[in-house]
Structure 1
Amino acid sequence: MPDTRILELLNTDIHSCTELLAILEQEFSALNERKLEQLQALLDSKQPLLVSLNQNAKERSNLLQRNGLTADMNGFQQFAQNSPHSAKLLQQHNTLNDLIEQCQTANLRNGRLIRANQISVGSALNIIRGSNEPSLYDKSGSTAYKNTRRTFTSA
């Protein structure tokens, strides 16, 4: 039955998201402590989880579409209403959504820390190079230095 398969996929994804969230927390600590070897190991352990989450999401979408429903929240709710496991499906779906939001928040936090570290390292390199010129920002928000040639429209 598709409802039991979707429930299995949700349970698998909840487990994967829980692991991913723990890895993101470890990543935050490793970024703060600048432990590059640990960061690489964490990246290696994140990749299979992300692949699994993506594959399971596609399979859930395909199952919903095969049942004539849209692959969105409305389609899922319609699917769950017609299932004997309705309450469990909706509960697990909500749990998964909450975990995904937590992972996104942690990932954004880690990205901000990476960006701050990049700026810090860039400033340190400028000092080592003897270039104390202030940096400018380009249209993407990245820093560009005075010696970098840019057209007036890209300034």
Structure 2
Amino acid sequence: MHDTTLLQLIEDDFAPAQQLLDLLQAESTALHGRDMPLLEDILARKQSLVLLLDQQGRRRSELLAGLGLSPDREGAQQLASQSSLGELLMQQLDTLGKMLADCQAINERNGRAITLQQSTTANQIRILMGGEAPSLYDSRGSTSPLSKPRALSQA
């Protein structure tokens, strides 16, 4: 009975995990295109999927803990070893784990893209605002003194 419940909880996560994977891929495209309205929409949908997946994960953990098993893969393996559905249960758990690992990898890649864009934007703003003075060299190879840095718009 508990094995079928756990199997159902795992299978119930397939659709939201696939939706999250699709959203993360769409987010990657939107990040490169800097499509802010689409990114805001994706963020809202992504947050609801992450919450749903988290709740389902907690339900699986509680089910295993309620049986006196560890609330992780090891506990699922112990339950599977005592069940006629054991092989299917572990296959489905592996499938879900792969989907979530793919989600994590794409999310990390998207995070690096966001960090790069933030850095680039900050550098562009610093240049436009006339940030730190450039170090220029004169004909003798020493740095030339600049009286005061000017913004690009004033140059």
The answer to whether the superposition gives a TM-score over 0.5 is yes
Secondary structure of the residue aligned to 2:120 is: helix
1:114 partner letter: I
- Relative to structure 1, is the Cα distance of residues 132 and 76 closer, same or farther in structure 2, using a 3 angstrom cutoff? same
2:110 partner letter: N
Structure index of larger Rg: 2
Percent sequence identity over matched residues?
37
- Relative to structure 1, is the Cα distance of residues 60 and 127 closer, same or farther in structure 2, using a 3 angstrom cutoff? same
Task: Give the distance between the partners of 2:111 and 2:35, measured in 1 at CA.
Answer: 16
Range with bigger deviation, 66-75 or 22-31: 66-75
The CA deviation at 1:133 is 5.1
Secondary structure of the residue aligned to 1:84 is: coil
- 1:137 aligns with none
5 Å-filtered alignment, 1:27-46, equals: 27-46=27-46
Q: TM-score, normalised by structure 2?
A: 0.83
- 1:16 aligns with 16
Task: Extract unaligned runs of 5+ from structure 1.
Answer: 135-155
Secondary structure of the residue aligned to 1:94 is: helix
1:57 partner letter: G
Q: TM-score, normalised by structure 1?
A: 0.83
Task: Extract unaligned runs of 5+ from structure 2.
Answer: 135-155
The CA deviation at 1:8 is 1.3
Structure 1 residues 67-124: Cα deviation after superposition (integer angstroms, max 9, x where no partner): 1111122111001111221121011000011111101100000000000000011011
Task: Give the distance between the partners of 1:133 and 1:32, measured in 2 at CA.
Answer: 31
The CA deviation at 1:132 is 4.0
The CA deviation at 1:6 is 1.1
